[in-house]
A and B are shown apart, each in its own frame.
Chain A
Amino acid sequence: MGNGAVPLELGPLYEAYADMIYRLALVRTKNRSDAEDVLQDVFFRCLRRQPEFRDQEHQKAWLITAAIRSSNSLLTRADRRHGAGAEPLETLSTQDDTDDTVYTAVMGLPEKYRTAVHLFYYEGYSVEEIGRMMDTKPSTVKSHLHRAREALRKVLKEDA
């Protein structure tokens, strides 16, 4: 950090981005405890490095990319420990009558598809932007989204 920029602090950073990172991490890890670990890792990494951000969008994209990286590492470690993927996420603790069928269907997708779906449909990023965040080609993201839609269509049709 330089140029007299205001140092980043945990409180405001948490206030602004905790929900976003936690939701993304949960989609990737399917585990609340792991998602919290990712959240902590991303924030601490950001606070340690104090990167300079051009604007809010830049900051958000940085954090998302860091969350993807962090969850990649965590998933790899989890795989080493358990020899399999993370334990499945329990159902969302619904406090109202909202139907979580769609969310559950998304969580049933392979990890790469879930990430692409989440960033595209929830965070509203373009295929190109997602490609940059995931360090993959836009055509691969498109392909993931296409396959995810196909799978979701099938699952949701069966549920209906």
Chain B
Amino acid sequence: MNRQFEKEYTQSNDRIHPRQELLQELEAKWAAEQAQQAEQKVRAFPTWARFVAAAAGILLCIGVGMGSVMLYTRSRGLGKGTAVAEASVETEGAADLAAESLEEETILYEAEADTAPAATEFPAMMLAAPAEEAPQGTHFALDEAEVENAVRFDTLREDAGVPGAENQAEAPLAQAKAAGTAAPTQLPAATEGTAAGEAAETAAYPRGKVIRRDDLYAVFLPTLEQVHIVEYADRKISNLFSLTLREKGTQVENVFWIDGELLALRTRNGETELLRFDVSDWKSPKHLPDMTQSGTLLGAWEMNGRLYILSLYAATEEEPLPWVNGARLDFDRVLLDRERPGDTFALITVYEPGQGDDFSARLALLSPVRGAVETGDDRLLLWAGEEKTELYVLSLGDQGLTLASESTRPGTVLSALGGEGFALLLQNGSDAEFLTLDEELNETGGAAARGVGQVSWGQVYGDGAAVLTADGLHYLTAAGDRSLAVAGDAFVRLTDQRGLLLSADGTLQLVALGAQLEALGSVRTRNGELGPLPEDLSRLAFDPDTNRLAIPAGQNVYPYLIDEEGNITLRGETQVFYDHNEAEQRELRVLFVGEQALIFHKSGIALCNQALSRQLTSRY
């Protein structure tokens, strides 16, 4: 069928052309738009000119009071001052138009949104100009072990499908994306009472993030609240853009980079704020109006060029319904059982960069949602409840946000993963259960580890789930439960088939997952000669092809090599971090890029050779 089909389909398409007059129409529209832009540029008054005009106005007053001979000359300054006032009025008019646009775009709530302020100039204090020349400094003394390719997994993701992101996808990065984007969102451990290990997997609270776009990398260092956009091309790095959000107060929790806009999310005073920065032109970035919605940020996802934001909102008598940009959600738009006891809403909004100030509230669930995970097929699974788990599948397609199916299961969700359907790991009494569900939430498979007690850490890996309990490590698949008698307090996935286990006794172990669950090799790390205990395994970089690890710890990065038997060998250590006085604020991340490695740290960005043994250059 294929060849004949292709031929006939091609023939039909080849006969389709836009109208002949269309080019002339577009040229006319484009010319009109350019003329309008030119007019706006003339109207827009630069800040310095406002000062000049204001000063001129003051001088004029003085001039009038003194009856100065200079009156005539300075009265021309008053003319400028008047022009400023007119320009301001026109700017507010444009903001009204933006608000009208927001009203048009809003479908699920009454459009009473506050007038969106016009885009403002980027505050100079928040924008750090990239340094022309980087200071020197070499702090590396390792051997020349080869590292060709590696990934940092944590929340690393490659943004594909965005203009400018074509023709990418080094295999390891694509793999990292699959892990990163599929990672479920959970409430922070302190709130939900889940194991500490889970918090590191949240999408809402990433411990750093690297977004790749062609040769550009946006690096989010959450503790420092900094975002750097770095270009790495032809083995050179340059810092194009640095943004510090600290002046804004509350800590930013997640950052996205979509369609020329840098988007930062945080919770402040019980509200979720979306900070927007137009960075399509590095030379003149703009701070766009912030947007807000009620409730604390629970998670956010980028799909099809849109940002989906999920917040959790506890209603009060004064504010019984959630709102977006000040406009309350119409109760008719709230889904699910209105008679349900409780007053917590999960509010989902959608923001599409590059489309003006469209920040549409699409859906509110009258239910305290605890987590969410997306599939590659525009579906979002939400889970809620305490004694039992309520499951909701939302369709996020082009036709809007709708509830596709719902169901309940016993137990509470520990971890979830989206793929063709959904895979869930649940704690049900003293059992750990692994379930696979289709998009209608019908059960398609599963297994359970019975009587294992409280799960201290668990993670779904697609075809199975790894679970750490008091009696050891379990790996659950549809075929059953495999267990390994080890105890540990942290576990990190490296590939589909291997995991890195940090045991309670300070041993770092490589573990083969799946049917042959077994410890492959290990290295003692705590208080040993081979290196310190990694403080945060989620920060490590790993290359599954060459079996190389880089673990940031303290002031150093420790490169390890895993041999064919699975033994983990430390290959030295390298000091890359300089600021001892602010050690508690350090951010240290390693990203293997091709044959080299980028190390991001508080004092800047270092480009190193593949073995991390030599610093090639750095940017501050």
Binding site for B on A (CB under 8 A): 10-11, 14, 18-19, 22-23, 26, 35-36, 39-40, 43-45, 47, 49, 51, 54, 57-58, 61-62, 65-66, 69, 72-73, 75-77, 79-80, 85, 92, 94-96, 98-103, 106, 111-112, 117-118, 121-122, 128-129, 131-137, 139-140, 143, 149, 152-153, 156
30 contacts between A and B (CB under 8 A): A18-B22, A19-B16, A19-B18, A23-B13, A57-B167, A61-B167, A62-B163, A65-B161, A69-B259, A73-B352, A76-B399, A85-B399, A92-B15, A96-B15, A98-B11, A102-B9, A103-B8, A103-B9, A111-B398, A122-B13, A128-B169, A133-B166, A134-B161, A134-B304, A135-B304, A137-B178, A139-B419, A139-B420, A140-B376, A156-B1
Within 8 A of A (CB), among B362-407: 376-377, 397-400
- Does the CB pair A98–B12 fall under 8 Å? yes
- Does the CB pair B400–A79 fall under 8 Å? yes
- Beyond A40-B29, A156-B5, 16 additional contacts (C-beta under 8 Å) are A18-B23, A39-B22, A44-B33, A58-B166, A65-B165, A69-B259, A73-B355, A80-B400, A92-B12, A96-B15, A117-B9, A132-B160, A132-B166, A133-B161, A135-B161, A139-B376
Q: For residue A118, which residues in chain B have a CB less than 8 angstroms away from its CB?
A: 13
Question: A128: nearest residue on chain B (CB-CB)?
Answer: B169
Q: How far is the CB of B212 from chain A (nearest CB, A)?
A: 12
- Does the CB pair A49–B280 fall under 8 Å? yes
Q: Given A49-B260, A61-B166, A111-B398, are A103 and B305 also a contact pair (CB < 8 Å)?
A: no
Q: How far is the CA of A111 from the CA of B399 in the complex (A)?
A: 10
The listed residue (A85, A129, A134, A153) touching B1 by CB distance below 8 A is: A153
- Does the CB pair B376–A137 fall under 8 Å? yes
Q: For residue A47, which residues in chain B have a CB less than 8 angstroms away from its CB?
A: 30
Question: B260: nearest residue on chain A (CB-CB)?
Answer: A49
Q: For residue B1, which residues in chain A have a CB less than 8 angstroms away from its CB?
A: 149, 152-153, 156
Question: Does residue B342 face the partner (Cβ distance < 8 Å to A)?
Answer: no
Q: For residue B17, which residues in chain A have a CB less than 8 angstroms away from its CB?
A: 18-19, 22
Question: Does residue B247 face the partner (Cβ distance < 8 Å to A)?
Answer: no
The listed residue (A19, A44, A65, A79) touching B399 by CB distance below 8 A is: A79
Q: Most A CB atoms within 10 A — which of B22, B162, B163, B354?
A: B163
Question: B158: nearest residue on chain A (CB-CB)?
Answer: A132
- Does the CB pair A102–B12 fall under 8 Å? yes
Q: Given A79-B399, A103-B13, are A135 and B303 also a contact pair (CB < 8 Å)?
A: yes
The listed residue (A54, A111, A117, A132) touching B165 by CB distance below 8 A is: A132
Q: How far is the CA of A49 from the CA of B33 in the complex (A)?
A: 14
1/0 contact string of B264-306 vs chain A (CB within 8 Å)? 0000000000000000100000000000000000000001110
Q: How far is the CA of A101 from the CA of B397 in the complex (A)?
A: 28
Q: How far is the CB of B101 from chain A (nearest CB, A)?
A: 11
- Does the CB pair A152–B5 fall under 8 Å? yes
Main secondary structure on chain B at its contact with chain A? loop
Q: How far is the CB of B529 from chain A (nearest CB, A)?
A: 44
Question: Does residue B10 face the partner (Cβ distance < 8 Å to A)?
Answer: yes
Q: How far is the CA of A73 from the CA of B420 in the complex (A)?
A: 25
Q: For residue B10, which residues in chain A have a CB less than 8 angstroms away from its CB?
A: 121-122
Q: How far is the CB of B32 from chain A (nearest CB, A)?
A: 11
Q: For residue B22, which residues in chain A have a CB less than 8 angstroms away from its CB?
A: 18, 36, 39
Main secondary structure on chain A at its contact with chain B? helix
Q: Given A65-B163, A122-B10, are A143 and B398 also a contact pair (CB < 8 Å)?
A: no
- Does the CB pair A72–B398 fall under 8 Å? yes
Question: B259: nearest residue on chain A (CB-CB)?
Answer: A69
Q: Given A10-B27, A153-B1, are A132 and B399 also a contact pair (CB < 8 Å)?
A: no
Q: Most B CB atoms within 10 A — which of A65, A76, A85, A152?
A: A76
Q: How far is the CB of A73 from chain B (nearest CB, A)?
A: 6
- Does the CB pair A40–B354 fall under 8 Å? no
Within 8 A of A (CB), among B449-506: none
Q: How far is the CA of A122 from the CA of B164 in the complex (A)?
A: 22
Q: For residue B107, which residues in chain A have a CB less than 8 angstroms away from its CB?
A: 80
- Does the CB pair B354–A45 fall under 8 Å? yes
Question: B178: nearest residue on chain A (CB-CB)?
Answer: A137
Question: A75: nearest residue on chain B (CB-CB)?
Answer: B398
- Does the CB pair A66–B167 fall under 8 Å? no
1/0 contact string of B97-120 vs chain A (CB within 8 Å)? 000000001010000000000000
Question: Does residue B6 face the partner (Cβ distance < 8 Å to A)?
Answer: yes
Q: How far is the CA of A49 from the CA of B162 in the complex (A)?
A: 14
Q: Given A65-B166, A76-B398, A99-B8, are A135 and B160 also a contact pair (CB < 8 Å)?
A: yes
- Does the CB pair A102–B5 fall under 8 Å? yes
- Does the CB pair A136–B161 fall under 8 Å? yes
Question: Does residue B19 face the partner (Cβ distance < 8 Å to A)?
Answer: yes
Question: Does residue B26 face the partner (Cβ distance < 8 Å to A)?
Answer: yes
Q: How far is the CA of A23 from the CA of B17 in the complex (A)?
A: 7
- Does the CB pair A122–B9 fall under 8 Å? yes
Q: How far is the CA of A76 from the CA of B397 in the complex (A)?
A: 9
Q: For residue B567, which residues in chain A have a CB less than 8 angstroms away from its CB?
A: none
**The 4 residue pairs across chains A and B that have the minimum distance between CB atoms:** A135-B161, A103-B12, A61-B166, A132-B160
Q: How far is the CB of A80 from chain B (nearest CB, A)?
A: 5
Q: For residue B5, which residues in chain A have a CB less than 8 angstroms away from its CB?
A: 102, 121, 152, 156
The listed residue (B16, B29, B259) touching A23 by CB distance below 8 A is: B16
Q: How far is the CB of A83 from chain B (nearest CB, A)?
A: 10
Q: How far is the CB of A38 from chain B (nearest CB, A)?
A: 11
Question: Does residue B168 face the partner (Cβ distance < 8 Å to A)?
Answer: yes
The listed residue (A72, A92, A100, A131) touching B304 by CB distance below 8 A is: A72
Q: How far is the CB of B358 from chain A (nearest CB, A)?
A: 9
Q: How far is the CB of A43 from chain B (nearest CB, A)?
A: 7
Q: For residue B15, which residues in chain A have a CB less than 8 angstroms away from its CB?
A: 92, 94-96, 98
Q: Most A CB atoms within 10 A — which of B17, B30, B161?
A: B161
Question: A149: nearest residue on chain B (CB-CB)?
Answer: B1
Q: For residue A51, which residues in chain B have a CB less than 8 angstroms away from its CB?
A: 163-164
Q: For residue B305, which residues in chain A have a CB less than 8 angstroms away from its CB?
A: 69, 72, 135
Q: How far is the CA of A56 from the CA of B161 in the complex (A)?
A: 17
Q: How far is the CA of A133 from the CA of B164 in the complex (A)?
A: 10
Q: How far is the CA of A147 from the CA of B33 in the complex (A)?
A: 43
Q: Most B CB atoms within 10 A — which of A18, A136, A156?
A: A136
Q: For residue A54, which residues in chain B have a CB less than 8 angstroms away from its CB?
A: 167
Q: How far is the CB of B213 from chain A (nearest CB, A)?
A: 11
Q: Given A44-B33, A47-B30, A137-B178, are A62 and B161 also a contact pair (CB < 8 Å)?
A: no
Q: How far is the CA of A153 from the CA of B1 in the complex (A)?
A: 8
Q: How far is the CA of A55 from the CA of B164 in the complex (A)?
A: 12
Q: For residue B27, which residues in chain A have a CB less than 8 angstroms away from its CB?
A: 10-11
The listed residue (B8, B164, B167, B376) touching A102 by CB distance below 8 A is: B8
Q: How far is the CA of A2 from the CA of B166 in the complex (A)?
A: 19
